[in-house]
Amino acid sequence: MTATAERATVPGPPSGLSARARRRSELTGRDVTVSAVLAVAAFVPAAALVWLTYEMAKQAYPAIVFNGWRFFTTKTFTLGNLYGGTPIVHHGYQAAHGAQYGVLPFLFGTVVSSAIAVVVAVPLSVGGALFLADRVPARLQGALGTFLEVLAGIPSVVFGLWGVFTFGPLMSRTGFKWLAALHIPWLSGSPGAGQGLLTASLVLAVMIIPIIASTTRELFRSVPPLTKEGAVALGLTPSETARHVTIPFVRTGILAATILGLGRALGETIAVLIISGNALNIYPHSIFDPFSTMAAGIAAILDGALTDSTGMALHALGEVGLVLLLVTLLANLGGRFLTRRFSVGGLPVGRGI
Amino acid sequence: MRRRRRFLDLTFWGLALLAFVCIALPSLSIVGSVIHQAVPVLGWSLFTQRTNALGIENAILGSLLLLVGVLVVAGTIGVAGGVYLAEFAPARLQRFLRFFSDVLAGMPSIVVGYIGYVTLVVAFHWGFSLLAAVVALSVLVLPYIVKTTEVSFRQVPTTLREAAAGLGLPRSKTVWRILLPPAASGVISGLIVALAISTGELAPLLFTAGFSDQNPTLQLLHHQVPYLTSVTFTDLALPGARAHATAAAAAAVSLAIVVILIAAGRLMTVRARRATRGMAL
């Protein structure tokens, strides 16, 4: 509907020329050349995306044929005996003796850690952004906003370093111990040194907070003052204004920012690899247990997979990567669909950092 | 009733304040703990010795070299693409290209690393090399540069384009002479953000750049490149307080580079705002 409205506002061509012909007649020869050169550059991201997806599918193909559905029903991912034994053959493809490729624990780790991260990050981001936008004097806003920018810029390996040496041990001595003492199923057990699912998820939350919070802050700032003043004139307290006017006004944008953060959490590699405890082939029995994700698993196993003379290990990791790619893509597209569905005003959405 | 609402109001803002503290504390804690852990090895030798002698000179040089590479490759392509989207592309093509660019921005970095390894390093026979690393990083930050360039050009008021067209200036000249000066600050701040992202990346480099105890050279192919995040990652897993301190020192240096870049980017954003302010009629 908006498309037709837009089209209607464009003034029609004056003398029966089509819009396209008119535009072309305005461009000089040099313009056309410049435009063509720039167009090539503009197509690079699209080409890169298609190329990445195609290569990923090509790399994964032998593993897809070799594994079949077992890929999604097995919980063991082992490269097998890389130095001896007769290679096993399945559907015409070879793999090392004893090799088994199952994605389930990785998939579980990715989905659960990202879900925890989003559940923790969204209220904190929205609350913090609201505080920053509504309650902090304008003079201080820039200075306090620096926290968000610094947080957004911290390299993920530094998050890993912090998680493993500072945050993890601190939490296992304090918060995790108290949580474990409540004896809630799956939330109990020994926190250990603080490496595991909960620590990694919380660090992921800290990593995606700047993405969600800085976008949300911009959105809160873009809410027209008149709307808020109306609410105040009706006798609403500041918190009621926030809850009934400001937040609903930008909820589509918050949703879009959340999806952006979710995408980052799903694909995060290095921080998770360092903090997760890197457990293969098992599901975490409690929230404090070591685990692994698809992204971290690829990074951890790739070195070993390179020594597989049948090459199937590399292809199997490719299949893991393809699943990760598809999950991320689905989250992105789902987010786009949702934002379009619930979109009210078409407010701008930033991109985190 | 009134007292209850006032109480709810206070609780709500108390919680919001708590949320903000939960955001601010980690960034303080991270910066503080990294510097604290790095203290034992801080000194000039860190910057004058290479990684085989407990310094990180080669890694710093390698990281800077990678940044220059990203600026050259992703910078030129990204800015050109952004200008095309903002000034030349037909509306439908714009939507199409923007969609692909957005999806590429969500690409997990390890996927880029994996594909970089199997294609650039192995299939193209580039080996672990500067070029493979720069291409992998560039793919990752390209969408950001395209986006910020496009937005910066769009922020220049249409009246300038109309005036230029009214004076008979060709479109390409309008872009170069009229639109670029006010848009430049925004474009540069986008480039700086892209560099900040590249400084902190490791996953795409893990299997494309390799590592070396030597200082990096300008050889594009077959020569491994040392870089900071790799030092942090490997030394972290080594036993011993000294290795951990070196890991933290490398982390502190990459953090410092990021902070400097962010500060520069912020300065540019302020300038950009000033450049376009008051231009619209």
Which CATH number fits the domain that encloses residue A168?
A: 1.10.3720.10
The answer to whether residue A257 sits within a structural domain is yes
Helix (H, G, I), strand (E, B) or coil at A188: coil
Q: How confident is the model at residue A8, as a pLDDT?
A: 44
Query: Looking at the complex, does the CB of residue A158 fall below 8 Å from at least one CB of chain B?
Result: yes
In terms of residues, how long is chain B? 281
Q: How far apart are CA A240 and CA B5, in angstroms?
A: 9
Structural tokens at position A287: 């929230």
The answer to whether residue A42 sits within a structural domain is no
Chain A residue with minimum CA distance to B201 = A155
Inter-chain residue contact A158 with B266, CB threshold 8 Å: no
Mean pLDDT score across all residues of chain B: 87
Q: Kindly list the domain boundaries of chain B, sorted by start residue.
A: 41-276
- Convert the pLDDT of each residue in B29-39 to its tens digit: 999 999 998 88
Nearest-Cα distance to chain A for B214, in Å, is 22
Q: What DSSP element (H or E) covers A89? A: strand A88-90
Nearest to A159 by CA among A269, A304, A34: A269
First to last CA, chain B: 50
Partners of residue B139 in chain A, C-beta under 8 Å? 48, 52
The answer to whether residue A182 sits within a structural domain is yes
Nearest-Cα distance to chain A for B151, in Å, is 11
Across residues B265-277, what is the average pLDDT? 78
Q: How confident is the model at residue B278, as a pLDDT?
A: 66
Residues of chain A with pLDDT under 50: 1-13, 344-353
Query: Looking at the complex, does the CB of residue A209 fall below 8 Å from at least one CB of chain B?
Result: yes
Q: How far apart are CA B160 and CA B177, in angstroms?
A: 11
Question: With bands split at pLDDT 50, 70 and 90, how would you rate the model's confidence at B70?
Answer: very high
Inter-chain residue contact B203 with A269, CB threshold 8 Å: yes
The answer to whether residue A286 sits within a structural domain is yes
Partners of residue B119 in chain A, C-beta under 8 Å? 55
Query: Looking at the complex, does the CB of residue A237 fall below 8 Å from at least one CB of chain B?
Result: yes
The answer to whether residue A170 sits within a structural domain is yes
ipTM: 0.89
Q: How confident is the model at residue A346, as a pLDDT?
A: 38
The percent of residues above 90 in pLDDT, for chain B, comes to 26
Partners of residue A125 in chain B, C-beta under 8 Å? 19, 23
- Whether B67 has a pLDDT exceeding 90, the answer reads yes
Number of domains in chain A: 1
Partners of residue B236 in chain A, C-beta under 8 Å? 157, 160-161, 164, 274
Q: How confident is the model at residue B133, as a pLDDT?
A: 92
Q: How far apart are CA A25 and CA A17, in angstroms?
A: 10
Q: How far is CA A251 from the centre of its chain?
A: 19
Inter-chain residue contact B108 with A328, CB threshold 8 Å: yes
Of A52, A135, A164, the CB nearest to B112: A52
The answer to whether residue A244 sits within a structural domain is yes
The answer to whether residue A159 sits within a structural domain is yes
- Convert the pLDDT of each residue in A169-220 to its tens digit: 888 888 777 888 777 777 777 777 778 888 999 999 999 998 899 888 888 8
Nearest to A272 by CA among A192, A163, A137: A163
Across residues B120-130, what is the average pLDDT? 88
What is the domain range of residue A248?
101-342
Are the CB atoms for A271 and A203 separated by under 8 Å? Answer: yes
In terms of residues, how long is chain A? 353
Between A231 and B278, residue with greater pLDDT: A231
Partners of residue A4 in chain B, C-beta under 8 Å? none
User: Cβ neighbours of residue A344 under 8 Å, at least 6 residues apart?
Assistant: A252
Are the CB atoms for A151 and B33 separated by under 8 Å? Answer: no
Chain B residue with minimum CA distance to A166 = B33
Class of domain B41-276: mainly alpha
Inter-chain residue contact A38 with B203, CB threshold 8 Å: no
- Convert the pLDDT of each residue in B138-173 to its tens digit: 999 999 899 989 988 988 888 888 888 888 888 888
- Whether B262 has a pLDDT exceeding 60, the answer reads yes
Q: What is the CA radius of gyration of chain B?
A: 23
First to last CA, chain A: 33
Question: With bands split at pLDDT 50, 70 and 90, how would you rate the model's confidence at B221?
Answer: confident
Q: How far apart are CA A248 and CA A242, in angstroms?
A: 8
